[in-house]
Amino acid sequence: MSEEEIKSQVQEAIQEESDIDEKYEAEFLEILENRYSRLTFDESSVSLSRMHIEGYRAIQKLNIPFTDSNTVIHGKNSKGKSSFIEATRFNLFGRNNDDPLVTDPIREDFERLETNGYWSKDVTDYRVYRGMEGGPGVGYSGQDEPNIIENPDENETSEVQRHTQGDIRELIGYTPIYQQDFDDFDVFSLFSVITGELRKFYSCDDATDLIDVLFGITLTNVEREVENQIEECSLSEEEQEAKAHLLGRKQRAVSVSEDIRSLADDQEGIESEIAEKSEEREELSRLLENKEDISENLTEKIDIQDEISDLQNRKQEKDDEFGSIKQEISKLESDAVTEEIAPALEEMKQMVALPNRCPVCTNDVEPSEHRQFHEEGDCPLCGKDVDDDRFESVSEVDEDGEVLEQEKRQEELKKLEEKKRRVRGEIEFLSERIEEKKERLEELEGEQSESQFREYKQRKDALEDEIGSLKEQSRKLELRIEAKRETLHDLALEVRRLTRLNEQRVRKEERRAALKAFQDLLVEERIEARRELQTRLRRRMESLLDVFSRGTFQEADHVTFRDRDSYRYTVHVANDKSKPELLEQTNAELTLSMLLFHTSILAELQSEETMVPLKLFMIDSPYGNGQDGENAEDITDFLLEIPEVLDEYQIIISMADSSVADQARLDHKYDIEPIDDYLEDEVSGKQMTFGDIDDDAEE
Domains of the chain: 46-216+546-678 (3.40.50.300), 236-506 (no CATH)
pLDDT digit string, tens, across residues 481-532: 999 999 999 999 999 999 999 999 998 998 898 888 888 888 888 888 899 9
Whole-number pLDDT of residue 307: 86
Q: Quote the pLDDT of residue 383.
A: 67
- pLDDT value of residue 352: 47
Strand 569-573: give its sheet, edge to edge: 556-561, 569-573, 577-578
pLDDT score recorded for residue 176: 93
Task: Tell me: pLDDT of 539 over 50.
Answer: yes
* Residue 375: exposure state from Cβ atoms within 10 A (0-12, 13-18, ≥19): exposed
Distance between CA atoms of residues 452 and 25, nearest Å: 92
Using the predicted structure, report yes or no on whether residue 613 has a pLDDT greater than 90: yes
Rounded Cα distance between 667 and 673, Å, is: 10
Q: Average per-residue pLDDT in the chain?
A: 82
For the cut 60, the answer to whether the pLDDT of residue 389 exceeds it is no
pLDDT surpasses 50 at 6:
yes
615/645 Cα distance (integer angstroms): 13
Residue 576 has pLDDT above 70, yes or no: no
Measured distance CA(6)–CA(216) in Å, rounded: 9
What average pLDDT does range 364-383 have in this prediction? 65
pLDDT at 677: 92
For residue 10, name the pLDDT band (cuts at 50, 70, 90).
Answer: confident
pLDDT in tens, 647-685: 999 999 999 887 776 677 898 899 999 999 999 864 433
User: What pLDDT sits at residue 114?
Assistant: 96
pTM for the whole structure = 0.63
Which of 7-11, 552-556, 578-582 holds the top average pLDDT? 552-556
Task: Note the pLDDT of residue 396.
Answer: 52
* Best CA proximity match to 143, nearest among 83, 80, 96: 96
Burial class (CB in 10 A: 0-12, 13-18, 19+), 458: exposed
Task: State mean pLDDT over 263-291.
Answer: 86
Which pairs count as long-range contacts for 636-640, CB under 8 Å and 24+ apart, including other chains? 636/663, 636/665, 636/666, 637/547, 637/548, 637/549, 638/544, 638/547, 638/548, 638/592, 638/595, 638/596, 638/599, 639/663, 639/666, 639/669, 639/670, 640/665, 640/666, 640/668, 640/669
Q: Dump pLDDT digits (tens) for 79-116.
A: 888 899 999 999 999 988 766 555 678 998 899 999 99
The residue ranking higher by pLDDT, 336 or 543, is 543
% of the chain with per-residue pLDDT over 90: 38
Q: What is the pLDDT of residues 288-326, one digit of tens each?
A: 776 555 456 666 777 888 888 888 888 888 888 888 887
Name the residue among 215, 264, 257 with its Cα closest to residue 41. 215
Q: Given a cut of 50, is residue 224 above it in pLDDT?
A: yes
| pLDDT tens for each residue of 369-378 | 666 665 666 6
Q: Looking at the predicted structure, is the pLDDT value of residue 207 above 90?
A: yes
The rounded distance, in Å, linking the Cα atoms of 89 and 20 is 48
Mean local confidence (pLDDT), 127-156: 87
Asked whether the predicted pLDDT for residue 578 surpasses 80, the reply is no
The count of residues in the chain is: 699
Residue 147: partners with Cβ closer than 8 Å, 6 or more residues away: 128, 129, 130, 159, 160, 161, 162, 163
Q: Is 621 left (phi over 0), alpha (psi -120 to 50) or beta?
A: left
